[in-house]
Amino acid sequence: MISAQCPIQFNDVLPASADVVIIGAGIIGITTAWFLAKQGIKVLVCDKGRVAGEQSSRNWGWIRQQGRDEAELPIMMESMALWENLSNDIGVDIGFKREGSLYLCESEAELAHHDHFLSFSKQYGLDSSRLNSKEIKSLLNGSQGRWRHAVHTPSDARAEPSLTVPAIAEACFRQGVIIKEACAVRQLSTTNGHVDGVYTEYGLVKCSTVLCCGGAWSSDLLYQNGLDLPQLSVKASVARTEKSPLIFNGNAAGSGLAFRRRMDGGYTIAMTDFLEVFPTAQSFRQFGAFLPLLRVAHKKLKIRMGTDWKERFLSPRKWTKDDITIFEKNRVLNPVPSNYSLQRMKKVLNDRLPELSNIAIIQSWAGVIDTTPDAVPVMDRSEAIKGLFIATGFSGHGFGIGPAAGKIMAALIQGNDSGHDLSRFRFSRFSDGSRLKLGPSI
DSSP 335: P
The predicted-structure confidence for 100-126, as pLDDT tens digits, reads as follows: 999 999 999 999 999 999 999 999 999
Nearest to 43 by CA among 168, 137, 161: 168
Evaluate whether residue 130 is within a structural domain.
yes
| 32 Cβ contact list (under 8 Å, min separation 6) | 22, 211, 213, 391, 405, 406, 407, 409, 410, 413
Q: Region 262-290: what's the mean pLDDT?
A: 91
Percent of the chain clearing pLDDT 90 (strictly above): 86
In a domain, 9, yes or no: no
For 153-201, how does the pLDDT look when each residue is reduced to its tens digit (9 = 90+)?
A: 999 999 999 999 999 999 999 999 999 999 999 999 999 999 999 999 9
Residues 6 or more apart in contact with residue 153 via CB below 8 angstroms: 64, 65, 66, 100, 101, 126, 127, 128
Predicted confidence (pLDDT) at residue 145 exceeds the cutoff of 90: no
Q: Helix (H, G, I), strand (E, B), or coil: what is residue 161?
A: helix
* Percentage of the residues of the chain whose pLDDT score is greater than 70: 99
Least confident of 20-34, 40-54, 341-355: 341-355
What's phi and psi for 380, nearest 5 deg? -160, 170
Please state whether the predicted TM-score (pTM) of the whole model is above 0.85: yes
Please provide the average confidence, as pLDDT, over all residues in the chain. Answer: 95
8: in domain? no
Range of the domain at 331: 20-430
Query: What was the pLDDT predicted at 279?
Result: 83
* pLDDT per position as a tens digit, 157-169: 999 999 999 999 9
pLDDT of res. 302: 87
Q: What is the pLDDT of residue 58?
A: 97
- 368 — phi, psi (to 5°)? -110, 120
pLDDT at position 143, please? 66
Question: Is 435 inside a domain boundary?
Answer: no
What CATH number has the domain bearing residue 26?
3.50.50.60
Query: 318-336: per-residue pLDDT in tens?
Result: 999 999 999 999 999 999 9
Domain-embedded: residue 305: yes
CA nearest to 335, candidates 304, 293, 359: 304
Residue 238, CB-side half-sphere exposure with 13 Å CA sphere: 25
* Mean pLDDT, range 233-261, rounded to an integer: 96
How far CA 441 is from CA of 71, 169, 310, 366, in Å, comes to 14, 30, 29, 19
439 lies in some domain: no
pLDDT of residue 283: 81
Q: Does residue 6 belong to any structural domain of this protein?
A: no
Using pLDDT thresholds of 50, 70 and 90, give the confidence band for residue 410.
very high
3 belongs to a structural domain: no
The total domain count for the chain is 1
Give 280's pLDDT tier (boundaries 50, 70, 90): confident
pLDDT reading at 311 higher than 90: no
| Mean pLDDT value across residues 275-294 | 87
Task: Judge whether residue 428 has pLDDT over 70.
Answer: yes
Lowest mean pLDDT among 43-47, 67-71, 437-441: 437-441
Q: What integer pLDDT is reported at residue 294 of this predicted model?
A: 87
